């Protein structure tokens, strides 16, 4: 009887882990599948569509490669800026001796995210002028909320009994943060970073509006000159970059998670 109970308890502990593993595995299968489908469509369109001279000029490989690099540059550094700002701020506002301003801060950033990305970029253009740096700052502002909110939620959901146990072992505040709170918050924080990354990749297509380059140039040229093939190629390239970043984020969520979490 006791053996059966023990086996049942062990199975109950394994079920959440098994369900999480299946969800992670599905996530890491669906994204590459979509990436492969879009890549196949892109290759088919590129090889079998009839390009007139205008479309050929828009889709010049050297031009696309430059725009692709600009897209990656803006998306990557805006995400880095988000992480550098949002994670420390999220940690700070959840400390015991700090005034409880997290709700106000989240509300303010929520208002910022409610603004259209186009409008936010224009506002920063008026303030800072044109260029990639302006776009990076604007996109970082737009994507701060998911990372900040997830950092706060991740830290606050850590079992207080575990934190008290750390205190009982003589750990200082920074030690508890580094050895208990942050490791247990990693999955939630990474989910926020993943969301912010995908947002930044998509919004980086607007960088061309203020001289930041990016694949939005191709999409815009296709729209202005009524070239559907150019629009399709530009949009698919943006989607592929977003899927690639999302897949990397999924790998980080799965493999950077502490064992047993």
Does 6 reside within a domain?
Answer: no
CB 176 within 8 A of CB 163: yes
Does 8 reside within a domain?
Answer: no
The whole domain housing 148 covers 15-255
Q: Given a cut of 50, is residue 11 above it in pLDDT?
A: no
pLDDT score at 10 = 43
Report the range of poorest mean pLDDT among 9-13, 95-99, 115-119, 180-184: 9-13
CB 132 within 8 A of CB 207: yes
DSSP 207: G
Residue 8 pLDDT level (bands cut at 50, 70, 90): very low
pLDDT score at 1 = 43
Does 56 reside within a domain?
Answer: yes
Does 10 reside within a domain?
Answer: no
Q: Of the candidates 188, 122, 126, which has an alpha carbon nearest to the alpha carbon of residue 155?
A: 188
- The span from the CA of 212 to the CA of 126, in Å, is 14
State how many domains the chain has: 1
Does 3 reside within a domain?
Answer: no
Residue 121 structure tokens: 């970029």
Any idea what the CATH number is for the domain that residue 68 is in? 1.10.3720.10
Q: Given a cut of 80, is residue 34 above it in pLDDT?
A: yes
Does 34 reside within a domain?
Answer: yes
Residue 45 structure tokens: 């369109």
Q: Pick the more confident residue, 133 or 19.
A: 133
pLDDT score at 31 = 85
Residue recorded with tokens 């998911």 = 146
Does 24 reside within a domain?
Answer: yes
Q: Of the candidates 32, 38, 69, 83, which has an alpha carbon nearest to the alpha carbon of residue 195?
A: 83
Q: Pick the more confident residue, 139 or 116.
A: 139
DSSP string across 167-196: HHTT--HHHHIIIIIHHHHHHHHHHHHHHH
Mean pLDDT of 64-72: 91
Does 55 reside within a domain?
Answer: yes
């Amino acid at each position: 009887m006791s053996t059966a109970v023990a086996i049942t308890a062990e199975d109950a502990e394994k079920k959440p882990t098994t369900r999480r593993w299946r969800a992670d595995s599905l996530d890491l299968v669906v994204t590459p599948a979509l990436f492969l489908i879009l890549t196949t469509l892109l290759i088919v369109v590129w090889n079998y569509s009839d390009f007139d001279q205008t479309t050929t000029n828009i889709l010049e490989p050297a031009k696309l490669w430059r725009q692709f690099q600009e897209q990656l540059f803006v998306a990557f550094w805006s995400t880095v800026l988000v992480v550098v700002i949002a994670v420390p701020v999220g940690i700070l506002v959840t400390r015991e001796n700090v005034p409880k301003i997290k709700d106000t801060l989240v509300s303010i950033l929520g208002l910022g995210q409610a603004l259209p990305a186009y409008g936010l970029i224009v506002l920063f253009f008026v303030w800072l002028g044109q260029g990639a740096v302006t776009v990076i700052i604007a996109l970082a502002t737009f994507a701060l909320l998911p990372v900040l909110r997830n950092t706060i939620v991740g830290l606050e959901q850590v079992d207080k009994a575990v934190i008290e146990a750390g205190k009982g072992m003589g750990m200082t505040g920074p030690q508890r943060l580094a050895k208990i709170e942050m490791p247990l918050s990693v999955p939630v924080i990474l989910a926020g970073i993943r969301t912010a990354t995908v947002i930044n990749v998509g919004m980086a297509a607007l960088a061309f509006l203020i001289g930041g380059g990016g694949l939005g140039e191709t999409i815009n040229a296709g729209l202005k000159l009524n070239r559907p093939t150019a629009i399709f190629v530009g949009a698919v390239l943006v989607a592929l970059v977003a899927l690639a970043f999302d897949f990397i984020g999924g790998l980080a969520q799965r493999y950077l998670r502490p064992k047993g979490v």
